[in-house]
Amino acid sequence: MHEQTIWLAPRATGFTEICDACEDEHPEVVSHATVRGTLRLEAEAGWVSCPRGHSIRVLRMNARMTAGAFR
């Protein structure tokens, strides 16, 4: 089971990512593994599911975090 996290910049509200679990299971159909979503500015965390049902945690970075350290 994959534990996935999408990290958002402090002022970001939308995201588009590839589901790592889908990419590992079916690398030939990565275009179908795209996850899109939003997180309200006042929210620090949330959840989204890919089209195949894998759960992905969404967390907001804060000013103390280094942007290049996360995926």
Check residue 28 and give its pLDDT. 78
The per-residue pLDDT for range 52-63, each reduced to its tens digit, is 899 999 999 986
Whether residue 66 has pLDDT greater than 70: no
The per-residue pLDDT for range 10-39, each reduced to its tens digit, is 999 999 999 999 988 887 776 678 999 999
Task: Please compute the mean of the pLDDT values over residues 64-69 and round it to a whole number.
Answer: 61
Q: Specify the pTM.
A: 0.79
Instruction: Identify the CA nearest to 43 among candidates 68, 6, 69, 18.
Output: 6
φ/ψ (deg, to 5) at 42: -80, -10
